[in-house]
Structure 1
């Protein structure tokens, strides 16, 4: 009888562990090759639409190259990112050099450099966090050009 209980507990533990592993894998699967549009940024006292009067910023993460690309609301940008578990960091690289209105571009680039983790909430929104506080929130959108 003890052998059956031990076998049952072992199989149950193995099953629960495999479910957890699958959950962690699926957690990052929606992160990549998706266009994420910014809908909230922490910090500025200017209304969101005032920061980004013509275009909302977006970001797309590519797993194979660990590169992020997108738009700051005015200029295109590229960045390297490092991902380990839910820890993520960005090192912005080149941006285009158009004149921007609203001041949102500087806020976007400043904030993304402070990000240290991410989460995807129950609504499927991507939160980029600094010390467990959501600094930027993105929603999935159709691919941007």
Structure 2
């Protein structure tokens, strides 16, 4: 009886050891993970680091890194990626490779990087969708008072009457406000965090100083916006031009 019991236990042990391990379906992983992902990272000497990762179906990738607030702060990195086991991707295998975990909720996390060009590894990369684009435009939909031009705080000498103010109306794409002297109105369009202003109309009252002319000219040159900590940054390329604070 003891002998039969021993044989039974041995058979169970052998069957457990020979059970094939569950492996990741690498083909399905590669098919499902393709797309565009992004993260906004803190930056010690700029506004923020805007990071975007494009994973293509042909196993190539492009990283777009923008250091907002720095001249010439935009970079692109091209390479190849492969799907590993355990839902892990390797970018640039064999070179300065680093690994990215594919999370169950569809996000990505950089889990291992060697000499990574980012100051800090993104905690989570989120797949870009229409909801995020709408959210960015909705956050813009408020009243903003100018604080700085070209990263220098404005003064009463430039704007002796009042500080310029913008009020965005996302529903109809209109913007109204003041130049610090005259009333202002016009249109704007957004796509994700890209922004452009249409023709701006102002009243014609004579104004002291050159603040109004600088302000309206920079608005026409604006290409990108970013909202952080109740501050609105309008940029030309990656360079900060105007900084506003939110008002109730």
**Contact 1:56-1:72 at 8 Å conserved across structures:** yes
Secondary structure class of the residue paired with 1:50: coil
Greater shift, 66-75 or 17-26, is seen at 17-26
Structure 2 counterpart SS, 1:27:
helix
Asked which structure has the greater RCO (Cα within 8 Å, sep 6+), the reply is 1
Asked which structure has the greater CA Rg, the reply is 2
1-structure distance, mates of 2:244, 2:126: 30
Cα distance in structure 1, aligned partners of 2:201 and 2:238 = 28
**Distance in 2 between the 1:80 and 1:47 partners?**
25
Question: How far did residue 43 of structure 1 move?
Answer: 8.5
Aligned-residue Cα RMSD (Å) equals 3.1
The TM-score with structure 1 as length reference comes to 0.78
More strand by share: 2
Relative distance call for 1:77 and 1:67 in structure 2 (3 A) is: same
63-72 or 88-97, which moves further after superposition?
88-97
* Aligned equivalents of 1:57, 1:136: Cα separation in 2: 11
Conserved 8 A contact 1:76-1:95: yes
More helix by share: 1
Please state if 1:126 is matched with 2:232.
Answer: yes
Cα 1:2–1:86, aligned 2, differ >3 Å: closer, same or farther? same
Number of residues paired by the alignment? 139
SS at match of 1:12: coil
Gap regions ≥5 residues in structure 2: 1-21, 30-85, 88-101, 109-124
Q: Which residue of 1 aligns with 2:136?
A: 27
Query: How does the TM-score come out when normalised to structure 2?
Result: 0.48
Shift of residue 93, structure 1, vs aligned partner:
2.7
* Aligned counterparts, 1:1-145, within 5 A: 1-2=22-23, 12-14=104-106, 21=129, 25-32=134-141, 34-42=142-150, 48-121=155-228, 123-142=229-248
